[in-house]
A = this chain, B = another copy of it.
């Protein structure tokens, strides 16, 4: 049976499904010309938008639940990289037809990750076309307290959380069909864990931060450029997940770690006096956090001990 746009929104996105996450400050949510939202006092608004297109940002056969998780996770990760507390999001959903067998698991998992991170769905738009999901996320940062890409200084340490490269290995395994159950690499790709609490913990400790979506080298490059510094990566210090350590060559593991995308870990710089607090923060969150190098005067990202074969992902790079 045909489902109208209004029925679709009501059944899957306006329902009690999202009630667990009708967060603070929502004066008017879904259903008017705009949402009306009240910011916490003494805070600035952090806003980021990310679009996922089927076949470009995720495999064409990816399960709707995994697409939902990824769609919100990549945006939560941007909040993490700013040290922002995520509050609200909007969803622009374009799909070929109102397919309820797709909408049911998609909206269920979207509600699940929204509840887990305490973000409310406050608006959106559904349109007909090739499957595309745009989520815009809104968060709060203390005034003048956002973690920017531009604050790194020579002498700072360079850090990364978690196990970069693990998601890229998962994607490779999915592509080749060599998937075993509970593979942590596949889980890292399908269900990336945005480092929101850790990012908030970095307020006042980190000098610059970014999340790793396009690959550690490529994203570190943005810190180097915006901060007008050089980043020196000591390849021997790179944290290699067990699955990467088990690869045939160490070069393959380093390449994945440096150039593989989709990790949504945090890459950040911090002055020497933050080192102890960062170690305690990592311990409190049970999240590995590794110092992988140093900020120096100059420009670009330099790897010591290994020359990686390629840079990060660029959507238009291969197109004329």
Among A126, A129, A130, A226, residue most surrounded by chain B Cβ atoms (within 10 Å): A129
CB contact between A315 and one of B50, B126, B132, B317 (< 8 Å): that residue: B126
Residues of chain B contacted by A122 (CB below 8 angstroms): 47
Within 8 A of B (CB), among A129-173: 129-130, 132, 134, 136-139, 141, 143-144, 146, 148-150
Interface size of A by CB at 8 A reads 75
Are A129 and B127 CB-contacts (below 8 A) given A46-B36, A94-B51?
A: no
- Stretch of A79-87, A283-291, A299-307 on the interface side: A79-87
Contact, CB under 8 Å: B318 / A2: yes
Number of copies: 2
Name A's B-contacting residues (CB within 8 A): 1-6, 8, 27-28, 31-39, 44-53, 55-57, 78-79, 81-82, 84, 88, 90, 92, 94, 97-98, 122-130, 132, 134, 136-139, 141, 143-144, 146, 148-150, 209-211, 226, 314-320
Residues of chain B contacted by A31 (CB below 8 angstroms): 149, 226
Cα–Cα distance between A209 and B317 once the two chains are bound (Å): 45
Residues of chain B contacted by A33 (CB below 8 angstroms): 48, 78, 81-82, 149, 209-211
Residues of chain B contacted by A57 (CB below 8 angstroms): 127
Cα–Cα distance between A92 and B90 once the two chains are bound (Å): 13
**In whole Å, how far is A246's beta carbon from the nearest beta carbon of chain B?**
32
24 pairs from A and B in contact (CB 8 Å cutoff): A3-B316, A4-B314, A6-B314, A8-B316, A27-B146, A32-B226, A33-B149, A34-B82, A34-B139, A35-B48, A36-B44, A37-B45, A37-B46, A39-B45, A47-B123, A47-B136, A49-B90, A49-B124, A56-B127, A57-B127, A92-B92, A92-B134, A128-B316, A129-B132
Are A44 and B27 CB-contacts (below 8 A) given A126-B315, A136-B136, A317-B2?
A: yes
Minimum-distance CB pairs A-B, first 4: A34-B48, A53-B129, A33-B81, A34-B46
